[in-house]
Amino acid sequence: MPTVTISSIKRDRIVQAAGKLFARQGYRGTTTREIAHLADVSENTLFRQFDHKENLFWSALRSHSAGIRFHRDLLEGIAQCESPEVVLPKIVELLTDTVNYRPELLRLIAVAFLELHPKAEAFSREHFSPALSAISHYLEMSIAGGRIRALDPKMLTAALVMTGLMHPGISRLIDDNTSRLNSLEAHRVHARFWLDLVVPRLSPYAQPIARGTEGHSD
């Protein structure tokens, strides 16, 4: 069993405090003195753990990103190319849970792209591209198998992810009276929307409509 040292406990406190302040105030708007104060350590202690403020920012973003993992059943569903009715709701659940339970992660990503853009893109390629590529590949295979409409899988992936992450905020901009959905309600609403949108359904008039014969003689 790994030993937890006082130094590692302090480091974790510093990272958590940094994540909160960077998410709330931005990178340039946050000082190391504020982070040290929130973490209840001296600024000297902070710099013994992190050489530079920027290193601390990436550590905070990495820490918040670590919890975003595909569950085993989702990984298996993607690998086995299971039906969209099985896989899409699990993808939607991952996205909506991120919004509901990890709002600081989304803010930190936004701060990274706004204030530290070149490195933000490299960070995202390392930490987020594998998951996005897996979703896109699954959609591509499902399209080839006729289980999803013939749409661009990359564009579909982008739309699926952005809808999951941005829908609550945009909905309130459209209608300020929009009620907040709890996590389970959000899963159901988003999953139903995407299944209705991308899964082919038989038309109620799947067969050609027969021409009326009334009034015609042989």
Model confidence pLDDT, tens digit, residues 191-215: 899 999 999 875 444 444 344 444 4
Among 16-30, 75-89, 91-105, the minimum mean pLDDT is found in 91-105
CATH number of 6-65: 1.10.10.60
72-198 belongs to CATH 1.10.357: yes
pLDDT top residue among 186 and 101: 101
Among 6-10, 39-43, 119-123, 182-186, the minimum mean pLDDT is found in 182-186
pLDDT digits (tens, 9 = 90+) for 166-197: 776 677 777 766 566 666 777 788 889 999 99
pLDDT of residue 210: 43
| Cβ–Cβ < 8 Å for 88, 195 | yes
pLDDT of residue 213: 43
pLDDT of residue 4: 58
Rounded mean pLDDT of 84-97? 90
pLDDT of residue 206: 42
In this structure, what token pair is assigned to residue 56? Answer: 């601390």
Rounded mean pLDDT of 156-162? 92
* Element containing residue 64 per DSSP (H, E): helix 53-65
In this structure, what token pair is assigned to residue 177? Answer: 């009276």
| pLDDT bucket at 68, cuts 50 / 70 / 90 | confident
- C-alpha 169/C-alpha 105 separation (Å) is 15
CATH 1.10.357 in the chain is located at: 72-198
Q: For residue 191, what is the DSSP state?
A: H
Summary mean pLDDT of the chain: 85
- Residue 218 pLDDT more than 50? no
Give the contacts of 85 (CB within 8 A, at least 6 positions apart).
Answer: 195, 199
3-state DSSP call for residue 211? coil
| Cβ–Cβ < 8 Å for 161, 167 | no
CA angle 119/120/126 to nearest 5° reads 90
pLDDT of residue 177: 63
Q: For residue 116, what is the DSSP state?
A: S
CATH 1.10.10.60 in the chain is located at: 6-65
- Cα separations (Å) of 117 from 16, 110, 123, 138? 22, 10, 10, 29
pLDDT digits (tens, 9 = 90+) for 125-143: 998 898 899 999 999 999 9
pTM for this model (two decimals): 0.77
